[in-house]
Amino acid sequence: MDVTAAEKQDRPRGGNWSRRGVLSGMLGAPVLLLAACSGDDGKPAAASPSGSVPAGGGASGSPSTSPKASVAQITVTPADGTTAAPFTQPVTVTVLDGTLVSVTVTDGTGKAIAGQLSADRASWTSTAKLSSGTKYTVAASAVDGEQRPAEANATFSTASPANTFVGYFTPEDGSTVGVGMPVSINFNKAITDRKAVQQAITVVADPPVEVVGHWFDATRLDFRPQEYWAKGTRVTLKLRLKDVAGAKGVYGTQSKDVTFTVGRSQVSTADLTADTLTVRTDGKVTATYPVIGGAPEHRTWAGKLVISEKYQQTRMNSSTVGLGSEYDIPDVPHAQRLTTSGTFIHGNYWSPGSQFGNDNTSHGCIALQDVQGGNDPSTDAAKFYASSMVGDVVEVVNSGDRAVSPANGLNGWNMSWSEWVAGSAV
């Protein structure tokens, strides 16, 4: 009996038919990539005992001109659609009943993630670290024993860590500092894996010089060369802490570069027997000022002290440094911090002029003559303040006290090079 034109149009051409579908690999359940769409009766084809759909065949006894589907089955882990994949685990792609031809994993910017194909080409594993909170795309292809192709695509996102740490660094990006300025990083959480964290931080200098890190404690890591920086040196701090485990379950978040420049060389010597401050700029004496040092009961720390902060005017209260109510001066001019514990080199308008260069009467600070309000640029304190920058060094000699603790301020120069290197975790 003749069929109508409409019937001819509706009938699948060439007997039974199959359509290739590209499916993503599912975690723990391989998916066959080529599936039969229907049998002759229009019903879905029966599944095989394994749960996958038979490839390339119609109903039993029906002739077919379509090529047989590939039997290669590709599985991607993490599975397609995963939204909180662990970023500490690699991406894996495996194939059953076939060999892998290619695997590409890219992040949201299109950057490819490195990986390694097994010798039997049955699996691929990423070798580069994944990033947290990042979307990834996987494209894989394989062939079965008869060289019939199969493909798989998947998209997943990695989780963001629940617990994180950051490092607060000094000096600031783009700053110009003195030759004694170390790179100092203070972490907001205790670091137990110091090696992993230090390996993720590098400090490079131009012109080149060896720079080594030193851990003062679980939250502070400083870097410096063996000697003061050479003037004009360009220093770059490279933080690659993102997803680095600083402690169990605690991961870094930073990935950035910080660059600063070393300015002219200025190292001053405070001789507290002579009560003078001699300033040397680029190796030449540029000024000498009479000063007041610490009294016998409050001697000034000896050693190499680095200026870490500068204040045109600040309040100094003895209660903040454990000296009770001995003083409270609300407007100390031209103050430059030398230690965390409260040692400054600053202007002094309240002591008699005859004491400068003759007496040591302070509570441990070094004082230069000044005026109240600090508005006279001709005073010794104003001139020294104007000539100084953060990172300059004040070397204190003949103070009668021991050398300052290297951890008290930015004063790691008071440690020998061998002692400094011994504090490195790498």
406 in Cβ contact with 306 (< 8 Å): no
Tokens of 381: 């304190």
- From the list 135, 139, 137, 125, the residue with the least C-alpha distance to 158 is 135
Count CA atoms within 13 Å of residue 221 on its CB side: 30
Residue 28: Cβ-neighbour burial (10 angstroms; 0-12, 13-18, 19+): exposed
Candidates 214, 334, 363, 365; catalytic one: 365
Candidates 214, 334, 346, 363; catalytic one: 346
**CA 247 and chain centroid, separation:** 15
Question: Is-catalytic flag, 37?
Answer: no
- Residue 384: partners with Cβ closer than 8 Å, 6 or more residues away: 268, 277, 279, 287, 289, 334, 345, 368
Reported in sequence order, the residue ranges of 120-217 that DSSP labels E, i.e. its strands, are 123-126, 135-143, 149-157, 164-165, 167-170, 176-177, 183-187, 201-206, 212-217
Question: How far apart are alpha carbons 348 and 366 in whole angstroms?
Answer: 9
Query: How open is the CA angle 383-332-361, to the nearest 5 degrees?
Result: 90
Question: Is-catalytic flag, 363?
Answer: no
Catalytic residues: 346, 365
